[in-house]
Amino acid sequence: MNENIKFPYYSGNIFNSKAIGYITLNKFIDVHKNPLPKTLAIISAVNDARLRGDIDNKKLHKQKLHTFTPGVIIDLGVGRKYANIKSFTGLMQLDFDSIPDIDIATTLKRTIFDLYPEIVCAYLSPSILGVKALIKINIDTDKKLSEKLHAVDNELRMFKALHQSLSKEFEQFGYFDNATKNAILPLFLSQDKQILYRDYDKCPTWKKEDWSKPKYVNLNDNPKPKIRTESNELYNLSKVERITTKRINEIIDNGHPQVRSTALVLGSRVCAGYITQHEAEHLIENLIKNNSYLNKGIKGYVRTAMWGIKEGLKQAKYF
């Protein structure tokens, strides 16, 4: 059962985005049901910080957990980026966050699992106040589409259209986090001895698609599609990363004003939908740590960067 489905996992350091191995769906379920003592210790620290209202330490401890990208295959040793996606697995992660208490989270977990046989597994998040799930999706794309666009680019469009339909379906339950539309969003390891799961091969497949937004337009309806080796979405993400990297790498003095201005722009790109907030925060924090001038005062510069991203979120800036 579930042995043929596998996907990448990453080290217990969120800033190291290189895939270090593959895990089968069976093993993924087992490590959540029977976690190692080290995992339990980290999750305990996450929840201790949550109960104290210490958001910074909660985030710090959570970033020590292994992560996964269950929806995509990425070669070992390369970074978790859209450009490095080799193929799609037929899974999509769902996330329900900021749930008021564990009873509501537990009830929601059971409810969605019982109502949707397409859900392969459902379990509580590391903070206990969230629910994670993996759902079986139909990622097969039309051969005619594949002739017009690069296969991975094509599958990404399908992934987005499927997520659009899923988000509209699950928003009725509340707490749904739309960030899972990002196919490479890292999924943190958790623990739940009462994880609910099914045999992947026996699950029906979620097939409903929603191409309603302009960027999700079905290319079958377009007689002369613009052909690219990468989608506009991939192109814009890469552009954001290049510009941000260049600006931070060039800082050799007067750090805070330059970090602040770079982060403000980066936040506006998040608001525009080119990059997720998690990716933006990860990117700029990593760049600060690797800048020989800025790394002498990492905490202060990272604090400035996080402020700048949040402020930039207030107004989108498009290319």
Same domain, 64 and 175: yes
**Is 317 within the bounds of a domain?**
no
Domain boundary, last residue among 193, 221, 249: 221
Alpha carbons within 13 A on the beta-carbon side of 268: 12
Higher pLDDT, 201 or 149: 201
Q: Which segments of 92-150 does DSSP mark as H helices, in order?
A: 102-115, 143-148
Question: What average pLDDT does the segment 260-272 reach?
Answer: 91
Q: What is the pLDDT of residue 254?
A: 83
Q: What is the pLDDT of residue 232?
A: 63
Q: Which residues contact 12 (CB under 8 A, 6 or more apart)?
A: 42, 64, 65, 66
pTM of the model: 0.67
**Is 191 within the bounds of a domain?**
yes
174-197 pLDDT per residue, tens: 889 888 988 998 999 999 999 999
Determine which of 26-40, 153-167, 225-239, 273-287 has the lowest per-residue pLDDT on average. Answer: 225-239
Give the full edge-to-edge strand order of the sheet including 131-136.
91-96, 131-136, 119-124, 196-197
Pairing of the two strands 72-74 and 85-88: antiparallel
- Whether 69 has a pLDDT exceeding 50, the answer reads yes
- Whether 1 has a pLDDT exceeding 70, the answer reads no
- Whether 2 has a pLDDT exceeding 70, the answer reads no
| Secondary structure percentages of the chain, helix, strand, coil, to 5 | 50, 15, 35
Residues in the chain, overall count: 319
Higher pLDDT, 4 or 231: 4
Same domain, 103 and 29: yes
Same domain, 75 and 204: yes
Cα–Cα distance for residue pair 70/32, rounded to 1 Å: 14
Q: If 0-12 CB within 10 Å is exposed, 13-18 middle and 19+ buried, where does residue 310 land?
A: middle
Domain boundary, last residue among 178, 200, 221: 221
Q: What is the pLDDT of residue 315?
A: 84
Nearest to 67 by CA among 57, 79, 56: 79
Higher pLDDT, 235 or 2: 235
**Is 1 within the bounds of a domain?**
no
Main-chain dihedrals φ then ψ at residue 161, nearest 5 degrees:
-65, -40
**Is 226 within the bounds of a domain?**
no
207-234 pLDDT per residue, tens: 898 887 544 434 444 433 333 334 566 7
The total domain count for the chain is: 2
Question: What average pLDDT does the segment 20-27 reach?
Answer: 95
Same domain, 197 and 236: no
Q: What is the pLDDT of residue 215?
A: 46
Same domain, 150 and 195: yes
**Is 76 within the bounds of a domain?**
yes
**Is 319 within the bounds of a domain?**
no
Angle at 171 between CA 129 and CA 94, to 5 degrees: 55
Q: What is the pLDDT of residue 141?
A: 52
Nearest to 187 by CA among 56, 93, 277, 291: 93
Write out the DSSP string of 216-268.
Answer: G--GGG-SSPPP-SS-HHHHHHHHHHHHHHHHHHT--S-HHHHHHHHHHHHHH
Main-chain dihedrals φ then ψ at residue 309, nearest 5 degrees:
-65, -45
Question: What average pLDDT does the segment 48-65 reach?
Answer: 86
- Whether 285 has a pLDDT exceeding 80, the answer reads yes
Q: What is the pLDDT of residue 56?
A: 82
Same domain, 66 and 157: yes
Determine which of 141-150, 253-262, 294-303 has the lowest per-residue pLDDT on average. Answer: 141-150
Same domain, 30 and 85: yes
Please give the C-alpha separations between residue 60 and each of 13, 50, 132, 179, 262, in angstroms, as whole numbers: 10, 11, 20, 20, 23
**Is 153 within the bounds of a domain?**
yes
Same domain, 163 and 265: no
Same domain, 45 and 194: yes
**Is 21 within the bounds of a domain?**
yes
Q: What is the pLDDT of residue 218?
A: 42
Same domain, 176 and 278: no
Domain boundary, last residue among 189, 221, 253: 221
Cα–Cα distance for residue pair 157/273, rounded to 1 Å: 15
Same domain, 83 and 184: yes
Q: Is there a contact between 157 and 216 (Cβ–Cβ < 8 Å)? A: yes
For residue 176, what are the domain limits?
6-221
Please give the C-alpha separations between residue 216 and each of 25, 154, 276, in angstroms, as whole numbers: 29, 11, 18
Percentage of residues of the chain with pLDDT beyond 70: 88
Same domain, 297 and 181: no
Strands (E), 112-206: 119-124, 131-136, 187-188, 196-197
